[in-house]
Amino acid sequence: MSLLTIEQLTAGYGKLVVLRDVNLTVDEGQFVAILGPNGSGKSTLVKSVFSMTDIVAGSIEMDSRSLIGLPTESISQHGIAYVPQRENIFSSMTIRENLLLAVRHLDSPKAEAALRDAFELFPILEERQEQGAGQLSGGERQMLAIAIGWLARPRLMLLDEPSAGLAPSLVKDVFRLLRRLCEAGITLAVVEQNARSILRWCDYAYVLREGEIAFQGTSEEILADEETVKGYLGVSPAVESLLH
């Protein structure tokens, strides 16, 4: 069953058109990757879902209800969480304070119960909950950002480059965690540069090139297409070997 449906989307920023006639579907329970070289429009695509771009044409629907023109807060209430690449935590606060801020709408007992659930999924955050978030490593910072998004109990999480700047071993940890979240019932749409790495964890992927969908398919289909791998993903065998 389709959860998010994007049809003939043309969008950008002011007069700058970045996406052209993009069609994308995320089915409930799927882990979908959005791939492509820098400047291909990947981040613009997920930002468009959250009303952070200028929509020129097309439609974006969640459960067959249009999201276009809705304020960001209303889109969140539709069951969508967005984890941006940057500025995704409050560095001046502790880990615990960041997490409590995410559940501030709950009364104290429910907020504490939500934190216990989060700590089961993210045990490293429990160990360091009183530590300043600004002192976290890159991988720990991403875990905290994902945990904050997860605490909203979304049906759909949009993540922008969750592995950016991480060592290959930490990239695996992040993708393994996302796979667990998906298996726990959260649908995922993830913008990612580490193409071959995420293709080992996701169910389906879209490859963008110059603002258009160049290829789409299952992980197996994309990795089997050498033209797509070399021309659109730009991943060499040497880089791939680092991801094993």
The pair of three-digit structure tokens given for residue 163, joined into one six-digit string: 């592995």
Alpha carbon distances (Å) from 13 to 41, 75, 142, 186, 197: 11, 19, 27, 30, 30
Rounded CA separation 71/74 (Å):
5
The pair of three-digit structure tokens given for residue 180, joined into one six-digit string: 């667990």
The pair of three-digit structure tokens given for residue 97, joined into one six-digit string: 């304070």
Rounded CA separation 104/240 (Å):
42
User: Tens digit of pLDDT for each residue in 83-102?
Assistant: 987 777 899 999 999 999 88
Tell me, yes or no, whether 70 and 131 share the same domain: no
Rounded CA separation 209/241 (Å):
25
C-beta of residue 181 within 8 angstroms of C-beta of residue 117? no
The CATH code of the domain that includes 35 is 3.40.50.300
User: Tens digit of pLDDT for each residue in 32-73?
Assistant: 999 998 899 999 999 999 999 999 999 999 999 999 999 988
How many domains would you assign to the chain? 2
The length of the chain, given as a count of residues:
244
Residue at which a domain ends, from 135, 164, 194: 135
Domain span including residue 120: 90-135
pLDDT of residue 66: 96
Mean pLDDT of the chain: 89
Q: What is the pTM (predicted TM-score) of this model? A: 0.88
Mean local confidence (pLDDT), 16-26: 98
Tell me, yes or no, whether 58 and 126 share the same domain: no
